[in-house]
Amino acid sequence: TPHDAFIAGLPKAELHLHIEGSLEPGQMFAFARRNRVDIPFADVEAVRAAYDFSNLQDFLDIYYAGAEVLRTEEDFRDLTTAYFDRAAADNVRHAEIFFDPQTHTDRGIPFGVVVEGLLAGMAEAEARHGVTARLILCFLRHLDEAAAFATLAEAEPWYHRIAAVGLDSSEVGHPPAKFARVFQAASVHGLKRVAHAGEEGPPDYVREALDLLHIDRLDHGNRALEDKTLVTRLARQAMTLTVCPLSNHKLCVVDDLARHPIRAMLDHGLRATINSDDPAYFGGYVNDNFRAVAPLLDRAQLVTLARNSFLGSFLDDAAVTRHL
Ligand code: HPA
Ligand code: ZN
């Protein structure tokens, strides 16, 4: 498309990336082999063929199965450096990456193995590419409040290395209200707060994320567009939305990329950003996601999206200014 070189040249931050969702099929086989773990696929083609989802839960079932090959600190480090190699190639200069500790601790992998591996990968990426990184600890919302509190307690030695807590996994039936007290406790420890809301869940879940979780950033937020009062509120408070076009299409949140609401979001004054969510599962990294919606946008809007990613980041003001 005509915007390809322009998109590639834009410096960007990535604010919605699940590191477990960056596990490419080839890596899945490599980690399975070195850890002697069985996986239910014959080859890379069979894995790719399984990535045909009709909703969020379809995807999550396969995503959690894929994560089983991740066992050692080296796995988490290698996963992270591989993601940052690809992100840097897309001119991503900063990334705030989600991880799902419960997916690993529930399999007996110590919290410290996960987080130390991720931090080692982040340090390596900064040394290689000059890309800065932050960690966001996500609670799995299909699990209960007590499990989230236990995870928050396990993270205590690393609070100074974690930027924020987040909320992901199966949305419908697990409203933000379920985690209001955990998010309150996290904020007392100085952690920022983000949450997936309005991906499949109704506008009321977005309102709960604002009112009960006191979020600093909204992940997805697509269904907020169904509620005019809510849109006005999000625009007025300059809430950053981390939008993920290829994910939206693959999970049938949006039926046709040509009708993706990104243009409407910008026209409503929302601070939208473009992100890859789970790039190994949804068919592309940040530049692919920009390209997926580029036919709907002009160059000034592409610049706005890239600028928004730094404005919506948890970098300090001086660092944001340096990136703009
Ligand atoms: N939504 C909810 N949970 C997730 C996602 C998502 O898009 N990706 C990974 N976990
Ligand atoms: Zn996500």
In a domain, 31, yes or no: no
Percent of the chain, pLDDT > 90?
A: 99
Proximal ligand: closest to the CA of 100: 1
In a domain, 245, yes or no: yes
Proximal ligand: closest to the CA of 142: 1
Is the minimum distance from the CB of 278 to ligand 1 under 6 angstroms? yes
Which residue CA neighbors atom 3 of ligand 1 most closely?
A: 169
Q: Which domain holds residue 105?
A: 4-24+73-313
Contact (CB, 8 A) for 113 and 72:
yes
CATH of the domain at 134: 3.20.20.140
What is the mean predicted confidence (pLDDT) over 247-269? 98
Q: Per the structure, how many domains does the chain have?
A: 1
In a domain, 108, yes or no: yes
For 11, counting Cβ atoms within 10 Å of its Cβ (0-12 exposed, 13-18 middle, 19+ buried), the class is middle
Is the minimum distance from the CB of 247 to ligand 1 under 6 angstroms? yes
What is the mean predicted confidence (pLDDT) over 244-259? 98
In a domain, 288, yes or no: yes
Report whether pLDDT(107) > 90.
yes
Ligand 1 atom closest to the CA of 168, numbered from 1: 3
In a domain, 36, yes or no: no
Percent of the chain, pLDDT > 70?
A: 100
Q: Which of 92, 156, 149, 150 is nearest to 306 (CA)?
A: 92
Q: What is the pLDDT of residue 81?
A: 98
Report whether pLDDT(246) > 80.
yes
Place 33 in a pLDDT band, splitting at 50, 70 and 90.
very high
CA triple 31-65-25, angle to 5 deg: 45
Q: What is the largest CA-CA distance in the chain?
A: 53
Q: What is the pLDDT of residues 259-297, one digit of tens each?
A: 999 999 999 999 999 999 999 999 999 999 999 999 999
Q: What is the pLDDT of residue 178?
A: 98
From ligand 1's centre to the CA of 168, what distance in Å?
5
Tokens 């322009």 belong to which residue? 6
Q: At what angle do helices 145-154 and 180-188 cross, to 10 degrees?
A: 20
Question: Helix or strand or coil: residue 273?
Answer: strand
Contact (CB, 8 A) for 17 and 314:
no
Is the minimum distance from the CB of 174 to ligand 1 under 6 angstroms? no
Q: Say if pTM beats, i.e. exceeds, 0.90.
A: yes
Residue 277 carries which DSSP code?
A: B
Q: What is the pLDDT of residue 97?
A: 99
Ligand 1 atom closest to the CA of 251, numbered from 1: 7
**Could you tell which of 277, 281, 282, 289 is best to mutate to test the pocket of ligand 1, judged by most ligand atoms within 8 Å of the CB?**
277
Report whether pLDDT(48) > 90.
yes
Rounded to 10 degrees, the C-alpha dihedral 96/4/282/20 comes to -30
Residue 220 carries which DSSP code?
A: E
Q: What is the pLDDT of residue 2?
A: 74
Q: What is the pLDDT of residue 99?
A: 99
What is the mean predicted confidence (pLDDT) over 137-141? 99
Question: Helix or strand or coil: residue 297?
Answer: coil
Question: Helix or strand or coil: residue 160?
Answer: helix
53-56 long-range Cβ contacts below 8 angstroms, 24+ apart: 53/250, 53/251, 53/252, 54/252, 55/200, 55/251, 55/252, 56/170, 56/171, 56/199, 56/200, 56/251
Residues whose CB is less than 8 angstroms from the CB of residue 29 and which lie 6 or more positions away in sequence, other chains included: 39, 43, 44
